[in-house]
Amino acid sequence: MSNLEKTRRRAEELRSEIERHNRLYYQQDAPEISDAEYDALYQELKDIEAAFPEMITPDSPTRRVGAEPVESFTPVEHATPMLSLENAFSPAEAIEFDARIKRFLGSNQPITYLAEPKIDGLAVEIIYEDGRLVQAATRGNGYIGEDVTANVKTILTVPLTLRPRKEAPPPPRRLEVRGEIYLPLDDFNLLNREREAEGQTVFANPRNAAAGSLRQLDSRLTAKRPLTMFCYAVARHETLPVATQSEVLRLLRDWGFRVNPEAAVCPSLEAVLDYHQALDRKRHELNYEVDGVVIKVESLERQARLGATSRAPRWALAFKFTPPEAETRIEAIEVQVGRTGVLTPVAVMAPVKIGGVTVSRATLHNEDEIRRKDVRVGDLVIVRRAGDVIPEVASVVIEKRPEGTELFHMPSACPACGSPVIRPAGEAAHRCDNASCPAQIKEHLIHFGSKNALDIDGLGPKMVDLLVDQGLARTPADLYHLTRAQLAELPRSGEKSADNLISAIRKSKRTSLERFIHALGIRHVGQRLSRILAEHFGGLEALRRASTQELEAIHEIGPEVARSIVSYLSNPRNRDLLNRLTGPEIGLVLTAPSSAGRGPLAGKTLVLTGALTTMTRQEATARIVAAGGRVASAVSRKTDYVVVGRDPGSKARQATELDVRMLDENGLIELLKG
């Protein structure tokens, strides 16, 4: 063997040894060698690589120092969406979740769950091909994240190459691993002390510190932060030789990933409640921030049957701990006008730290809420912060109320335009009744151009103020008629920024249907529902024709939301706006989601009647929707199939009368298969 070949082999041996010691140290807390011995191995490899740069491999542990900075992160579409989790805040809600699962599965036996800490960090997905790390991406909005490969490669507990244990089954050719990246609490505190000493701003909480560290355009900076990761899932785990969630975790561990040692199998919901209590007591001893327990149905076959809504899997739950609270004083109550004209009272408070985050404003919801809690300016109050939710005033410390406080009254005139404020019968909200209220017009335009809507760069609150105050825009359609000359003349604006805004507005003409629906700002229709509507209808015209009944047939939509959508779409002013935006003069081009109009039941409407034997009605509905179909509650001429189970109701007769095709359960199963 040549000397060169010997050196090459030694380098390979060193790389594998160093990664093994990394695992022993970081993953198993069981180092076999001293720090000095480790440093010696590392230095030897570095020396070889310095002398023979052609021997450097992309997965060498010496590469964990980061790479050249990038201009921005590239968007990455997740092959399998990274969903969110449904939340429960009390044992009663967890019990309700368990009951729903039993109903769905048609079982009254105890359900076995896997329980583990919910870590407050950042979710990422890491992809391995042929055992090598090829890509890492943040969760982003669940569908599209950011490429942070160079940054994740600097994290010592993330394997660059899979070196599975001998007994373990080999990983698939393509492996998509998911988990949470976080900064250990002691490192977080150390980092903040250092930053304080250097006069830099400190991070409000470990989560922000982890996010700030991971999302560095210069990965050499990420390499300096001791981030770490717990893995908890594999996308498309159906392809693995395992039957349970805990076996997935065992596989991950055998393949060299760090898995939370606190994870435990709970044979029933009672066991989950015990686990939750025990972890709540213990969480202050852990070196990471935990905000609850995640439970997952242990059986993967059951997970597959339960499936997911567009937001979250039905088989998992984030069972939160009681949110942190703090006491502070109310200095003022401000009233904000939102884009739908709703007036929201907001408490302005002496700044206070709650669970590591400084808070100085909290929502008071509406006048009834203020009365119920009897909140007054000057009061000492308990403020609560639950996750990402806007902080709220939980209660007043009545014993400590100063003298001379006064009851709060909603203003009778809109703080933005002075028009009369009304309170529609049956509603808790006060509204400004003026459809041309500048506050509403502005909020609406800001929302239209915001990041998750049409994403018009440069159309922030300041620009919108200018446009509306100068009379250049009142509706989103006006934006598309703005000229460069008009913009360049605005105060504090130049030709360059005018050009940028014009081009951003032009760019927004090609957008997705879901962004467009979201941008309209229909009451109760946020980002999540917009996606559901886009997937369901596949086009704006189909949505515009939808009836409340049709909308209510969609699992996630209730009567109130359905009414709100139909009322928006039938309002002449809104119809005119939609016609203008999509008409020949402006010509927005809306792309339908790729999943729309696909699946064996795409575009078909089904009605269920009678009991089915192999699945519950809820399960049948979920499977039909997953196959692209709709389930309506009543039979009409537009119904494609009526599925007739045992003891059918009058719908079977209606189907005969209206000449709609009928199917039995086997027929439905055949249709679902395609």
Q: Kindly state the smallest distance separating residue 654's Cβ from ligand IVH, in Å.
A: 40
Residue among 123, 160, 612, 620 that touches ligand IVH (CB under 6 A): 123
The number of residues in the chain equals 674
Q: Closer to ligand IVH at the Cβ: 291 or 552?
A: 291
Q: Kindly state the smallest distance separating residue 224's Cβ from ligand IVH, in Å.
A: 24
How large is the angle between the packed helices 572-582 and 559-570, nearest 10 degrees? 70
Q: Kindly state the smallest distance separating residue 294's Cβ from ligand IVH, in Å.
A: 4
DSSP for 250-270, please give it: HHHHHTT----TT-EEESSHH
Residue among 22, 60, 84, 244 that touches ligand IVH (CB under 6 A): 84
Q: Which range binds ligand IVH by CB under 6 A, 111-119, 478-486, 494-502, 525-533? A: 111-119
Q: Which range binds ligand IVH by CB under 6 A, 79-87, 489-497, 498-506, 576-584? A: 79-87
139 touches ligand IVH by CB under 6 A = yes
Give dist(CA 627, CA 136) in Å, integer.
30
**Judging by DSSP bridges, how do beta strands 661-663 and 641-644 pair with one another?**
parallel
Q: Kindly state the smallest distance separating residue 672's Cβ from ligand IVH, in Å.
A: 23
Residue among 19, 98, 116, 665 that touches ligand IVH (CB under 6 A): 116
Query: How is the beta sheet containing 641-644 ordered, strand by strand?
Result: 630-632, 605-609, 641-644, 661-663
Site for ligand IVH in 201-260 (CB under 6 A): 232-233
Reply yes or no on whether 282 is catalytic. Answer: no
333 in Cβ contact with 348 (< 8 Å)? yes
Q: Which range binds ligand IVH by CB under 6 A, 117-125, 454-462, 565-573, 601-609? A: 117-125
What residues pair up with 174 in beta bridges, in sequence order? 129
Q: Closer to ligand IVH at the Cβ: 19 or 125?
A: 125
Of the listed 46, 118, 282, 296, which one is catalytic? 118
Q: Closer to ligand IVH at the Cβ: 244 or 605?
A: 244
669 in Cβ contact with 620 (< 8 Å)? no
Q: Which range binds ligand IVH by CB under 6 A, 82-90, 401-409, 438-446, 472-480? A: 82-90
Q: Closer to ligand IVH at the Cβ: 294 or 543?
A: 294
184 touches ligand IVH by CB under 6 A = no
Q: Closer to ligand IVH at the Cβ: 78 or 518?
A: 78
Q: Closer to ligand IVH at the Cβ: 252 or 318?
A: 318
DSSP for 185-217, please give it: HHHHHHHHHHHHHTTPPPPSSHHHHHHHHHT-S
Q: Kindly state the smallest distance separating residue 232's Cβ from ligand IVH, in Å.
A: 4
Distance between the two ends of the chain, CA-based, in angstroms? 60
Q: Kindly state the smallest distance separating residue 173's Cβ from ligand IVH, in Å.
A: 23
Q: Closer to ligand IVH at the Cβ: 14 or 249?
A: 249
637 in Cβ contact with 610 (< 8 Å)? no
Q: Kindly state the smallest distance separating residue 284's Cβ from ligand IVH, in Å.
A: 18
Residues in binding contact with ligand IVH, number by CB under 6 A: 15
**Judging by DSSP bridges, how do beta strands 641-644 and 392-396 pair with one another?**
unpaired
Give dist(CA 586, CA 446) in Å, integer.
19
388 in Cβ contact with 416 (< 8 Å)? no
Give dist(CA 256, CA 16) in Å, integer.
12
644 in Cβ contact with 664 (< 8 Å)? yes
What residues pair up with 421 in beta bridges, in sequence order? 432
CA atoms within 13 A of residue 234's CA, in its CB half-sphere: 27
Residue among 14, 18, 114, 119 that touches ligand IVH (CB under 6 A): 119
Q: Which range binds ligand IVH by CB under 6 A, 114-122, 151-159, 246-254, 645-653? A: 114-122
Q: Kindly state the smallest distance separating residue 119's Cβ from ligand IVH, in Å.
A: 4
**Judging by DSSP bridges, how do beta strands 589-591 and 325-337 pair with one another?**
unpaired
180 touches ligand IVH by CB under 6 A = yes
Give dist(CA 483, CA 471) in Å, integer.
13
Site for ligand IVH in 269-328 (CB under 6 A): 294, 313, 316, 318
Q: Closer to ligand IVH at the Cβ: 158 or 393?
A: 158
Residue number of the CB closest to ligand IVH reads: 123
CA atoms within 13 A of residue 561's CA, in its CB half-sphere: 18
Task: Name the CA radius of gyration of the chain, rounded.
Answer: 29
Residue among 14, 18, 48, 83 that touches ligand IVH (CB under 6 A): 83
155 in Cβ contact with 228 (< 8 Å)? yes
Q: Closer to ligand IVH at the Cβ: 180 or 392?
A: 180
| Contacts with ligand IVH, residue ranges (CB under 6 A) | 83-85, 116, 118-119, 123, 139, 180, 232-233, 294, 313, 316, 318
Catalytic residues: 118
